[in-house]
Structure 1
Amino acid sequence: MAAPALVALAHGSRDPRSAATVTALVDEVKALRPDLRIEKAFLELAKPSFQTVVDKLVRAGHDEIVVVPLLLNEAFHAKVDVPEQIAEATSRHPGLQVRATDVLGLEPRFLEVLDERMREALKDARVRELDALVLAAAGSSDPLANQAVARLARVWGTHHKLPVTAAYAAAAPPATGEAVRAFRAEGRRHIAVASLFLAPGRLLDHATELALEAGAVAVSAPLGAHPEIARTVLARYAVGAVELVPV
């Protein structure tokens, strides 16, 4: 019996860098599990769509699919968009079983990826001293999602023994520029911003611009196609595949 297919489902963006990053991440996942049928898909703004990918998998004979949402928080897209897409797919294909896993989320081990990206940014900017950090995320209208970012920021700050503030590119204060200026008002001058985004895009560009204008010494690249992210995708898939096994 063939293993369920894996669909890595990203939000999607008009920015081609975002789709390229998702493609690179899915390639990392495929390299780890060449035995699996693995496809990428997008909720909106990019192709292929989820429905297109499902149709292709059904034509290829797959009747079980595990969907791993490439999302960093459990907010609107995870709670509404993903279930709606799955409901549409199963209504169009009787007998098809589709299981959505938990989102990628804010795993503490992702802090290692943040550290790696930050080291790269500091090296490029020739910065050797820091006295504060800002953890920049997309932001959400769901306060629980923003609180999860703030908790991760506290963990990160404790690890580095530095003050850390969470900032958001949209939907919630403070913006990255505000967070940097607040630290500067305290007399801190070496403030770096870590990008808690999966891929590049308009929101991250805006957050980066605001941070640099406010005096940040460096802004890291997004998490991107990192092996740790790929391993997390497969960990989510493993749970979803087990849940499809008849009891």
Structure 2
Amino acid sequence: MTAPAIVLVADGPDDSAVNDSLAGITRSLQAFRPDLRIHLARLGGVSPSLPSVIDRLVSDDVGEVVLVPLDLVSAAEHVSEYDDFPHSPDIHVVVSRPVGPASEVLNILDERVREALHRGGALEIDGLVLAAPAGADVRGTSLLARRARQWSTHHRLPVQLAVDEGDGRSTATAVASLRAQGRRHIAVGSLYLTPTPAYQAHLQGAMRAGAIAVTAPIGDTAHLRLLILARYAFGAMELLDGTPTQLPVEDLDDDA
């Protein structure tokens, strides 16, 4: 029996930069795991829609699929969002936990901060902002705060958490808060998957407020690929026994 297919489910506008970034993530994952059938589906009326992707899999006689939400800020299952999702009874669909604010994202942000500092010719920082888009669930919000504390402890620097509504104000306020504390070399880690308009507003807000470096969106990274595959593997376990599997609370805390 073949392994279940993976469908990466992503939100975001029908924008060329966003589309290219998501396509790159999908291609990279397919190259990394050529043994798996991997597709991308878009929400919000953007093509390819989830129903069309599932219909294509059914027509190719695929019997099982795991949906992996590419959501970096929520931590709980997205099953309720797909309760009304119509699909053929010939395919078994399960929804994994979203990628979420896993501890591994701090490794990605460290890499992105180094890249941003190198581009700007900066040598040191004395403050950090962890910026994320709004829309997290309760568990995700708690984990975002936890990641900010972990980042602060790791670098022994003050870290401000900014949850932006899409206008860049929260990021700008976080940078201004650090500057009010006397910090002048502030880098902003962007927990945005792709260069959406919300990311661009956050970038502009950070620079206007005086940040010396703002990271690029997460995009395609080895860490992200491994997180996606971990979520897929956990979802595939549910297909094996047909019963939902719940992570213990301590595992959710660590988000391994």
The residue aligned with 2:253 is: none
Counterpart contact for 1:195–1:220, Cα < 8 Å = yes
Alignment of 1:1-247 (within 5 A): 1-74=1-74, 78=78, 80-81=80-81, 83-84=82-83, 87-90=84-87, 93-140=88-135, 142-170=137-165, 175-246=170-241
Structure 1 residue 171: deviation in Å?
A: 7.9
Tell me which amino acid in the other structure corresponds to 1:200: P
After TM superposition, the score normalised by the length of structure 1 is 0.91
Counterpart contact for 2:168–2:198, Cα < 8 Å = no
Going from structure 1 to structure 2, the CA distance change for 1:79 and 1:162 (only over 3 Å counts) comes to farther
SS in 1 for 2:187: strand
Inter-partner Cα distance in structure 2 for 1:161 and 1:26: 36
Inter-partner Cα distance in structure 1 for 2:76 and 2:235: 21
Counterpart contact for 2:68–2:96, Cα < 8 Å = yes
Counterpart contact for 1:169–1:204, Cα < 8 Å = no
Counterpart contact for 2:78–2:95, Cα < 8 Å = no
Could you tell me which runs of 5 or more consecutive residues in structure 1 were left unpaired when the two chains were aligned: none
Counterpart contact for 1:137–1:167, Cα < 8 Å = yes
Tell me which amino acid in the other structure corresponds to 1:6: I
Inter-partner Cα distance in structure 2 for 1:7 and 1:109: 21
SS in 2 for 1:245: helix
Inter-partner Cα distance in structure 2 for 1:191 and 1:35: 43
Inter-partner Cα distance in structure 2 for 1:45 and 1:182: 38
Counterpart contact for 1:131–1:191, Cα < 8 Å = yes
Structure 1 residue 38: deviation in Å?
A: 0.8
The residue aligned with 2:246 is: none
Counterpart contact for 1:168–1:175, Cα < 8 Å = yes
Going from structure 1 to structure 2, the CA distance change for 1:101 and 1:25 (only over 3 Å counts) comes to same
Which string of whole-angstrom CA distances, capped at 9 and with x for unpartnered residues, describes residues 47-98 of structure 1? 10101100100001012111111111327993643x23xx4233xx123210
Going from structure 1 to structure 2, the CA distance change for 1:190 and 1:229 (only over 3 Å counts) comes to same
SS in 2 for 1:89: coil
Going from structure 1 to structure 2, the CA distance change for 1:142 and 1:68 (only over 3 Å counts) comes to closer
Question: 4+ residue runs of structure 1 moved beyond 6 angstroms?
Answer: 171-174
Which string of whole-angstrom CA distances, capped at 9 and with x for unpartnered residues, describes residues 84-132 of structure 1? 3xx4233xx1232101111001111221111111100000111112110
Counterpart contact for 2:189–2:215, Cα < 8 Å = yes
Identity of aligned residues (%): 40
After TM superposition, the score normalised by the length of structure 2 is 0.88
Number of aligned residue pairs: give it: 242
Which string of whole-angstrom CA distances, capped at 9 and with x for unpartnered residues, describes residues 134-179 of structure 1? 0110022745433321211110111011000110221899701101
Structure 1 residue 45: deviation in Å?
A: 4.6
Counterpart contact for 1:140–1:171, Cα < 8 Å = no
